[in-house]
Amino acid sequence: MTHATQKVALVTGASRGIGRAIAQKLAADGFAVVVNYAGSASLAEQAVADIEANGGRALAVQADIADPDAVERLFAQALETFGRLDVVVNNAGILQMARITTDNVGLLDKTLLTNLRGSWLVMAKAAEVLEEGGRIIALSSSVLGKSFPGYGAYIASKAGVEGLVKVLANELRGRKIAVNGVAPGPVATELFFTGKSEEQVQSIANLAPFERLGQPDEIADAVAFLAGPQGGWVNGQILRVNGGMV
Ligand code: NDP
């Protein structure tokens, strides 16, 4: 395949966890991949090296998705290096637990900054530059269906993301670009394990009839479906991928 015809995907937060699995899967499916990260330069370079070792093409780009200038630079570097963009996956996100109290409003601001403002910026830029037939995929969370105590800021941010997905799908009328969300249940990553006891982890894992956590690869498979030829007629939807948790 020549460089001009190879499709290109950009994945935010692809240095580790679910994003890294998505980058790897899309590379295996034939995309050149932009591996975005916030601070983990060596992990991102490792992800790129893994893709290249399997015969793929990839580029690591640092950018805080909540910063408009950084997002501008991220997309510019992607286009400069690979010449086109077909798929953008906004996966970068943070989770910090806090109950809904006046004291915790700073945590709401911080969560919205990355998860909602970051999604807005990445999805907006994707809408601007994607090729016809392009796909935008945003990561939400199945925890919206559970409303657990302590998840207020996170759920508010992801409810916002689901809103953006549906509105943007309508705003892109005539462009042949599909916009969808993927809402994982609990997945074995740093984001999920941080701050939880072994007992808490087990009881959350048991919520799904399959009685286990999801793996990053299982989320990547759903994203790859939406990004690939078989997902073309899915638009404006939120796909829950959670082993039946909700
Ligand atoms: P991890 O914490 O394992 O990885 C987060 C990734 O996002 C890292 O690559 C990190 O980069 C990057 N990141 C964080 N903040 C920013 C930022 N401001 N700008 C750019 N990149 C950033 O998370 P997961 O893989 O678990 O989660 C991925 C997505 O899936 C998130 O949106 C999350 O909300 C969602 N999700 C996760 C679930 C789970 O149980 N794990 C369940 C449901 C949804 P760096 O390494 O440089 O810090």
Smallest CA-to-CA distance from 113 within 156, 149, 73, 142 is with 156
Residue from 191, 201, 204, 223 whose mutation best tests the ligand 1 pocket (most atoms within 8 A of CB): 191
Residue 2, pLDDT score: 56
Residue 124, pLDDT score: 99
Asked if residues 82 and 30 have their Cβ atoms less than 8 Å apart, the reply is no
Residue from 189, 194, 201, 217 whose mutation best tests the ligand 1 pocket (most atoms within 8 A of CB): 189
Farthest-apart Cα atoms in the chain, separation: 56
* Distance between CA atoms of residues 43 and 49, nearest Å: 10
* Distance between CA atoms of residues 223 and 30, nearest Å: 14
Ligand 1 center–CA 30 separation, angstroms: 24
Residue 32, pLDDT score: 98
Backbone angles phi, psi at 37, to 5 degrees: -150, 170
Residue 48, pLDDT score: 99
Residue 1, pLDDT score: 55
Residue 4, pLDDT score: 66
* Distance between CA atoms of residues 9 and 245, nearest Å: 29
Q: Is 186 in the pocket of ligand 1 (CB under 6 A)?
A: yes
Provide the b/e sequence for 81-106 (b: ≥16 CB within 10 Å).
ebebbbbbbbbbbbbbbbeeeeebee
Rounded alpha-carbon distances, angstroms, from residue 24 to 28, 183, 219, 231, 235: 6, 19, 12, 18, 24
Asked if residues 107 and 114 have their Cβ atoms less than 8 Å apart, the reply is no
Domains, the chain, ranges and CATH?
A: 8-241 (3.40.50.720)
Residue 31, pLDDT score: 98
Q: Is 141 in the pocket of ligand 1 (CB under 6 A)?
A: yes
Asked if residues 123 and 79 have their Cβ atoms less than 8 Å apart, the reply is no
Residue 85, pLDDT score: 98
Q: Is 214 in the pocket of ligand 1 (CB under 6 A)?
A: no
Q: Which atom of ligand 1 is nearest to the CA of 188?
A: 41
Q: What is the pLDDT along the chain (246 residues), one digit of tens a residue?
A: 555 689 999 999 999 999 999 999 999 999 999 999 999 999 999 999 999 999 999 999 999 999 999 999 999 999 999 999 999 999 999 999 999 999 999 999 999 999 999 999 999 999 999 999 999 999 999 999 999 999 999 999 999 999 999 999 999 999 999 999 999 999 999 999 999 999 999 999 999 999 999 999 999 999 999 999 999 999 999 999 999 999
Q: Is 240 in the pocket of ligand 1 (CB under 6 A)?
A: no
State the helix-helix crossing angle for 118-129 and 68-82, rounded to 10 degrees.
40
* Distance between CA atoms of residues 132 and 41, nearest Å: 32
Point out the residues that are catalytic. Answer: 154
Residue 56, pLDDT score: 98
